[in-house]
Amino acid sequence: MEKEKDFLGKEPVNKLLWKLALPTVTAQIINMLYNIVDRIYIGHIPEEGTLALTGVGVCMPLIMIVTAFAALVSNGGAPRASIYMGKGEKELAEKTLGNCFSLQIIISLLLTTVLLIWNRDFLMAFGASNNTIEYGVSYMNIYAIGTIFVQLTLGMNAFITAQGFAKTGMLSVLIGAVCNIVLDPIFIFGFGMGVRGAALATILSQAVSCIWVLNFLFGKRTFLKIRKRHLMLKSKIILPSLALGLAVFIMQASESVISICFNSSLLRYGGDIAVGAMTILTSVMQFAMLPLQGLGQGAQPIISYNYGARNVDRVKSAFRLLLKASLFYSCLLWALILLFPQVFAALFTSDPALLEFTKTALRIYTACLLLFGIQMACQMTFNSLGNAKASILVAVMRKFILLIPLIYLLPLIFSSNKTTAVYLAEPVADFLAVSFTAILFIFQFKKALAEMSNSPKQN
């Protein structure tokens, strides 16, 4: 098994990146379908589809918080486990896995309790109206029960990918996605459950994925195994993992805060139709975010392992390939959205008014998407190198320092069309954030390479 896992340090980087990235990108595309398929079906419910879509869209901030907590633990723990593997410290890698597993169970139970008790209050604060609140509450009451499945599936699957088992990680997502796509129309339309059916299909599908993931990590094929002796939380293990995962947590949890800001502003200036369009815009952005995250996750084991092993050339090569692939994808998707916005909008609604409104909003909202490959490649590499401070800084810069203030400032500047001004906040923030991240990365990456050059390679 020792020789098997050393392929991260031996195989040609070009071949290895595609070997790992293809399954992780595929997994993220599948995950994207997993996340948006509910909204596609819900948006086409006869007579009430538009209001139901808006109501479920308001649930997105809460769902983002759930997934952000999974990322907090896994995106800090998984890279550290890879780095320990590169150093030949398997015991520390398994301690990290065990501690993260225990913490995610604790977090899941807390989140379930909070969501069941206060979901209506949260949804009203997040932009639900009297017309849409009942749809949101119906969805969240069921979704909350399956929080533990979401947490463990997303969180523990990162440790499968971090060991280089990218195909197994892809299958974890594929199994749940297929179940969800099959169950959604059965529960929504066949049983007439509407949004409650969509939520039930989601949590049942996540439960199936969860069983698959845990069966692998407790089984014989995995290099790092969940062991009973490593389940007790240790501060020296879990706190550094949380510090590293904090950047991804901020990036994802801030999407929740930003959704609140967008929804409340759009409800004020444009009404339910503007909030409904935002649900579609957020869904379309997942076409960019999730595959780019998949590329980063494919590169993460390579960068982290070779950073731990002090293989400078392999770290540099992996980042260059990641940057080129990410930039190519973001430019391609940007061009497709710019040329065919109606195709993307029509996935989620057949309402003529909402469709026409969304076409224009989509072009504005994604105006700087072509640069987003740079942002994601740099940010994922910061995480792969264990650079928690830089990861947190770029996440805070884009979301809190730039985007949230712009949501409120731009409508004051462009008062003739305040709804458009709200949507414009996204591309303006993206342009400034990418510029900042690229400059910071140049200095921090050179520093990391110099530190590796001055340290002996690991055998």
The predicted pLDDT at position 30 comes to: 73
Residue-wise burial string across 221-243, b where 16 or more C-beta atoms lie within 10 A, e elsewhere: ebbbbbeeebeeeeeebbebbbb
Q: Which helix (H) or strand (E) holds 426?
A: helix 418-453
* CA neighbours closer than 13 Å in the CB half-sphere of residue 427: 16
Q: DSSP character for 238?
A: H
* CA neighbours closer than 13 Å in the CB half-sphere of residue 398: 27
The predicted pLDDT at position 35 comes to: 64
Rg (CA), the chain: 21
The predicted pLDDT at position 4 comes to: 45
Residue 214: partners with Cβ closer than 8 Å, 6 or more residues away:
152, 156, 226
> Domain segments of the chain: what residues?
13-453
Give the integer Cα–Cα distance in Å for 109 and 151: 10
The predicted pLDDT at position 99 comes to: 96
The predicted pLDDT at position 1 comes to: 42
Three-state SS string across 377-408, please?
HHHHHHHHCCCHHHHHHHHHHHHHHHHHHHHH
Residue spans of the chain under pLDDT 50: 1-4
The predicted pLDDT at position 398 comes to: 85
The predicted pLDDT at position 34 comes to: 65
The predicted pLDDT at position 369 comes to: 92
* Amino acid occupying residue 294: G
The predicted pLDDT at position 88 comes to: 86
The predicted pLDDT at position 378 comes to: 94
Angle between helix 312-339 and 352-365 (nearest 10) = 140
Structure-token match 């009430």, residue found: 48
pTM score over 0.75: no
Burial class (CB in 10 A: 0-12, 13-18, 19+), 64: buried
Give the integer Cα–Cα distance in Å for 368 and 434: 10
